[in-house]
Amino acid sequence: MILHIALRELRSLFLSPLAWIILGVIQGIMAWKFLGFIDYFFTLQPELIKIKNAPGVTDLVIAPLFDFSKILLLILCPLITMRLLSEEKQNGSLKLLLSSPVSMTEIILGKYLGALAFFIIVILLIGLMPLSLFSSTDLDMGKIAAGMLGQFLTIAAFVSLGLYMSSLSNQPVNAAAGTFGLLILFFIINIAGNATTQGENFFNYLSITHHSIQMLRGIVNTADIAYFVLFSIGFILLSIRQLDSQRLQS
């Protein structure tokens, strides 16, 4: 049942021009950025030869590329997630789901996985770009794998937050604005942490940036994974609760 809902969601996404536009925009910008990073690498290369244990292509091209893609995903994620529930509420099709023998959990998980599947396609396409370097140089596959894992966990967290915001609002635009605001907050919250030593740990812990940056360096830390998993599960549970409470008292 979850699968049917997820597939319908994914199908509808690709039937609208929005998904294709987002894929196109991401590919275009990432390609430009990729070229930029490679160019930068070439200018540094003479210097790098002199250094022992110098950072390689993976550190100087792929890691920054993945890091940059997070900003793009942050901007584009709300555009996809905003419609998940609020559009169905607005045009009344949610009643089909609610009157069907489907639980709230199945509805939410179906929607979540549908949107997540789209973003997995996005990050795989982004991941393919640096893999094209494979033919001409040695790549640190471990680091790339860790980076991809980081990408996946980050977008899983983004989508869960977007889904929750969408469950709160009847207007997709409101959901998008809310998602955008909160995602940015979670992105920059550690900047406040840097100011004081005491609050540092706490604010760093809340920050998405803090947890994803380690994986780009090839360090897969259980604490970081736990953060993303808890973040996603938390917002999924909140969405289920929200949908149920609307049925009880609207």
Contacts with another protein, residue ranges (CB under 8 A): 1, 4-5, 8, 11-12, 15-16, 91-103, 247-250
Q: Which is nearer to another protein, 209 or 246 (CB)?
A: 246
Which residues touch 55 (CB under 8 Å, ≥6 apart)? 48
Q: Which is nearer to another protein, 9 or 224 (CB)?
A: 9
Query: In angstroms, what is the minimal distance from the CB of 239 to another protein?
Result: 18
Do residues 160 and 236 touch, judged by C-beta distance below 8 A?
yes
Structure tokens at 239: 């969405």
Query: In angstroms, what is the minimal distance from the CB of 11 to another protein?
Result: 8
The beta-carbon contacts of 27-33 under 8 Å, at least 24 apart in sequence, are: 27/125, 29/72, 30/65, 30/68, 30/69, 30/72, 30/126, 30/129, 31/129, 33/65, 33/68
What is the residue whose two structure tokens read 């947890």?
A: 211
Query: In angstroms, what is the minimal distance from the CB of 87 to another protein?
Result: 10
Q: Which is nearer to another protein, 45 or 103 (CB)?
A: 103
Q: Which is nearer to another protein, 6 or 60 (CB)?
A: 6
Query: In angstroms, what is the minimal distance from the CB of 103 to another protein?
Result: 6
Do residues 236 and 157 touch, judged by C-beta distance below 8 A?
no
Q: What is the dihedral of CA 188, 194, 195, 200, to 10 degrees?
A: 100
Structure tokens at 162: 């977007």
Q: Which is nearer to another protein, 11 or 217 (CB)?
A: 11
Query: In angstroms, what is the minimal distance from the CB of 10 to another protein?
Result: 12
What is the residue whose two structure tokens read 């690498």?
A: 41
Query: In angstroms, what is the minimal distance from the CB of 88 to another protein?
Result: 8
Do residues 139 and 55 touch, judged by C-beta distance below 8 A?
no
Query: What single-letter amino acid sits at 60?
Result: L
Q: Which is nearer to another protein, 13 or 189 (CB)?
A: 13
